[in-house]
Amino acid sequence: MKQNTIKDIAKRLGINHSTVSRALHADPQISRATRELVLRTAMEMDYSPNTAARSLVGARSNTIAIVTPAYHSIYSAEVMRGIEPEIIKTTYEMDYYTTRRFTVVGTAGRDVMIFEKILSEKKADALISITGNVTGRGDDILARYKKAGIHIIFVEGRGSWGHRVHYDNFGAAVMAVNHLVERKRKRIGIMIGDPARAESYNERLEGFKKAMRSHGRRADESNIFIYSEDSAELHRTAMNFFVSNKMDAVYVAAGESYSLRVYQEGLKLGIKFPDDMALVSQDDVRISAAAGFTCVRQPIIEMGRKAVEIAVRAIEEKNLNTMRDEMFYPELMVRKSS
């Protein structure tokens, strides 16, 4: 039995086969009505892409690779809530890898291995890197990806070559500090992951320092709590740090799962929020609203969707020289914790 092709779909609908191809790959320039019509017709005609043939013609893999530092990360899972449904709308496959970079012990070199494997085995037409930089054997890894025609999209990361989907982390921290100052808080602390390990952490820390100094406040070892790895004692240690240094407000810039556990440790110590200590969380995924945390929102799902849009367009247009830079902005959600 003859397998239906893109040209067969185009013939039935009376449209150009390139329009069908672009609709199947979720090209944002194709209208939603046309895309839905093409997808519905493709299902009716039992169309399935010939991935083997496509990979032979032009060395295409018909796959988008996603690399994250941790499967268990709430942030990564939320980005994937944006990525996966968008990829499902296309005819691309998806491969998902973790570098385990947020687990220090026993993972040295794993990120290099993964990025080199994707490149050497031509496992993807595009790579979406969540919260991290692309590292390899030598400093020319990005140049080698470009030469191989594999597009790179950084979500909260950056490189000398590649598209960027990122968030105004600096502005988010400034927003948090300004809010706490408006609430008449005198001693404001921050909890943040190692800024050397994530661009977003570094930007938030710098935003915190700048905002504190603009208000004539200190930003040093007495009110900055930096951690390298999550552990059973991390949140108790953090809260003890803030209490011993007499903080009356904390910006948990590491994310809302950390906010919840810091909050719980505070309750164990008899701290009343916000009377004794105000708390501002980061990201506003699900926990903050349920717990009543004031939070600086990051549109994480929307960022995941945008990454797929950029990846698909880059693959289809075969443009390795014009890089897109998409910035998303914070929004303050004021609730009872501050």
Any domain includes 335: no
Mean pLDDT, rounded, for 272-291: 95
Name the phi and psi angles at 311, rounded to 5: -60, -50
Cα atoms found within 13 Å of the Cα of residue 3, Cβ hemisphere only: 6
pLDDT band at 224 (very low <50, low <70, confident <90, very high): very high
135 φψ region: left (φ > 0), alpha (ψ -120 to 50), beta (else):
beta
Structural domain tally of the chain? 3
Domain-located, residue 20: yes
Same domain, residue pair 250 and 174: yes
In sign, the C-alpha dihedral spanning 254, 258, 264, 265 is: negative
SS3 at position 265: helix
Residue 334 inside a domain? The answer is no
Whether residue 318 sits in one domain with residue 218: no
Q: 261 and 287 share a domain?
A: yes
Examine the domain organization and report whether 150 and 161 are in the same domain. Answer: yes
Section 3-20 average pLDDT = 88
Which tens digits make up the pLDDT trace of 189-214? 999 999 988 889 999 999 999 999 99
CA distance 40 to 17: 15
pLDDT tens-digit map of 241-265: 999 999 999 999 999 999 999 999 9
Residue 190 lies in domain: 169-299
Q: Are residues 87 and 140 in the same domain?
A: yes
Q: What CA dihedral angle connects 281, 285, 291 and 296, to 10 degrees?
A: 30
152-200: per-residue pLDDT in tens?
999 998 899 999 999 999 999 999 999 999 999 999 999 999 998 888 9
Domain shared by 154 and 215, yes or no: no
Q: Are residues 59 and 140 in the same domain?
A: yes
Residue 84's domain is classified under what CATH number?
Answer: 3.40.50.2300
pTM for the whole structure: 0.80
Q: What is the mean pLDDT of the chain?
A: 89
- The pLDDT of residue 49 is 60
pLDDT digits (tens, 9 = 90+) for 93-131: 999 988 865 444 444 567 888 898 888 888 899 999 997
Q: Answer whether residue 131 is part of any domain.
A: yes
pLDDT at 307: 98
Token look-up 């598209």 returns: 163
Is residue 65 included in any domain, yes or no? yes
| pLDDT classification of 138: cutoffs 50, 70, 90 | confident
CATH number at residue 37: 1.10.260.40
- Quick: pLDDT tens for 48-60: 665 444 444 455 6
- Decide if pLDDT at 323 tops 60: yes
Residues 173 and 292 occupy one common structural domain: yes
